[in-house]
Amino acid sequence: MPREITAYSNPLIKRVRSLRDKRHRRAEGLFLAEGLRILAEAEEAGTLPLMLFHARDSADHPIVRRLSAATEAAGGDVIQTVPDILHKLSGKENPQTVIGVYAERLTPLESIDRATAPIWIVAQSLRDPGNLGTILRTGDAVGAGGLILLDESADPFSVEAVRASMGALFTQAIAHAAWPDFIAWLRAGPGQLVGTSLNTDTDYQAPAYRAPVFILVGNESHGLPPAYEAACDLLVKMPMRGKADSLNAAAATAVMAYEVLNQQRRGAATI
Amino acid sequence: MPREITAYSNPLIKRVRSLRDKRHRRAEGLFLAEGLRILAEAEEAGTLPLMLFHARDSADHPIVRRLSAATEAAGGDVIQTVPDILHKLSGKENPQTVIGVYAERLTPLESIDRATAPIWIVAQSLRDPGNLGTILRTGDAVGAGGLILLDESADPFSVEAVRASMGALFTQAIAHAAWPDFIAWLRAGPGQLVGTSLNTDTDYQAPAYRAPVFILVGNESHGLPPAYEAACDLLVKMPMRGKADSLNAAAATAVMAYEVLNQQRRGAATI
């Protein structure tokens, strides 16, 4: 049977609310995901919440019912509550929402099997959690295996990143590494490191990409450091027809990732 | 000579601060843009602020000096102030920032000359101002003429949209229209209306696009309404290799816009 909590002052509500803060996420190893669509994607990817909060009124919703049963069967907690408390937990106005508490799941770099996917995305010092989540979503779409975050990075488990990922957080491996560790790991196996850069004349459609392709995108403001560019197998750039010299980092990643996928669809990438 | 304002209570500071709110922007017909890079892009595109705020300490920065001189020469106000007030105006921590107050500039649909660009982007009921700004930035990059916003839309002059556009707000025409007015205008001249949709089997790389191409993207949550899809010349979709069924709206726009640009670069689009 689901528990019921209707008091703001309940310590569990305070604890879950605190997961909106990075420090508490790190301390607990937990994060929040919100919304039926994302929780259903997580379930489909084989991940159930440790705690599931939903409004009493939505207990009969078929997806809520299925998620609740699966969560309880896996030993998790299902908590019925009131719209005001859901609003407090989620920061959103929609009282129909559901909220899941999940265990953070970073994959150690050495556990990544690069042979499992033809595309991997590598992002250096990404600052914006919305960009990070959007890149995860794009990675899922192109059949990438995961996202490797280099150096200081926005938190993939922040509410904004989880929301922007639209569930891809649960389908993509996520690793976090310092540059020296990443490049040592990369060079211990096959893999073409392709950096998007302004410091090249090579059009991004010119090379034949060879799987596994590691697409490397730089920080939103500064791009890639020179040493990182020097370590790439290829530097490429998108044509820029206007006044601006670059795309948004997540938009650039999508354009680049679809070029690699399109080559793979034409059978050109595995030559 | 620049004016100097150092008091929070100054009515001009309150008035400019209020432009962070949509109601005040609409009432005044003014909006805020922040940061040297965006203000310099605006200047390069021929647009100067009506008011320019900068910190006393940055008066000698060469770009600040140039912007100040140009603003004053055009009859605008240059106001030196203190980091605390700049922080209050911008919501950002960086006291080196500059802030410009600009006149809102929507282009009436009937004033758009579709022959001036091979690509136009049309977005229906876009909700997220960051997506809107990112789409403007992508439009600039692919040589689009502008962005036509359909129906209820996020505000292109919000601080988030201006920031995400990275100056493209000043290079792209921006129109706002109801659907019946848009479709009547579109059909009064040449133009291929291409909708991105989940309700089609046509791969986005299959058609030969013919300029001027109008790329139509739908609302982030709901996609395009059926009547809008029915009015398109083509519906296309990107391949989706993962669990998710769609890309972020700004990412999808970038992938689609670069496909059209790539066809144009190969000389295929003007057949």
Bond into A49 cis (ω within 30): no
Residue with tokens 């493209």: B168
Size of interface A-B (CB pairs under 8 A): 118
Note whether B42 and B102 are within 8 A (CB): yes
- The interface predicted TM-score of the complex, written ipTM, equals 0.93
Closest A-chain CA to B206: A262
A22-49: per-residue pLDDT in tens?
Answer: 999 999 999 999 999 899 999 999 999 9
- Mean of all residue pLDDT scores within chain B: 94
Strands B98-103 and B30-34: antiparallel
B196/chain A closest Cα distance in angstroms: 15
Token pair belonging to B246: 């769609």
Q: Which residues of chain A have pLDDT under 50?
A: 269-271
Residue A117, chain B, CB below 8 Å: the answer is no
Over 70: is that where the pLDDT of B191 sits? yes
Question: According to the model, what pLDDT value does residue A57 have?
Answer: 87
Segment A119-143, tens digit of pLDDT: 999 999 999 999 999 999 999 999 9
pLDDT, mean of residues B208-224: 96
Q: What is the mean pLDDT of residues B159-176?
A: 95
d(C-alpha B257, C-alpha B134), whole Å: 13
Residue of chain B whose alpha carbon sits nearest to that of A257: B255
Average pLDDT over residues B222-227: 96
CA distance A48 to A30: 13
Question: How far apart are the C-alpha atoms of B142 and B119, rounded to whole Å?
Answer: 8
- B79 in helix, strand or coil? strand
Closest-CA residue of B relative to A143 is B241
Exposed / middle / buried, residue B168 (Cβ in 10 Å: 0-12, 13-18, 19+): buried
Residue B250 token pair: 């700004």
Which of B45, B242, B250 has the CB atom closest to A140's CB atom?
Answer: B242
What per-residue confidence (pLDDT) applies to A245?
87
Residue type (1 letter), A266: R
Q: Which residues in chain A are contacts of B45 at CB distance < 8 A?
A: 243
What pLDDT shows up at residue A269?
Answer: 44
Structural domains in chain B, sorted by start: 3-103 (3.30.1330.30), 109-265 (3.40.1280.10)
Average pLDDT over residues B44-50: 95
**Per-residue pLDDT reduced to its tens digit, B107-143:** 999 999 999 999 999 999 999 999 999 999 999 999 9
Centre a 10 Å sphere on the Cβ of residue A102 and count the other Cβ atoms it contains: 23
Contact across the interface for A137 and B244, Cβ inside 8 Å: yes
| Strands of the B146-150 sheet, one edge to the other | B173-177, B146-150, B119-124, B213-217, B192-196, B234-236
Give the pLDDT band (50/70/90) at residue B3: confident
Considering only CB atoms, B244 lies closest to which of A140, A205, A254, namely: A140
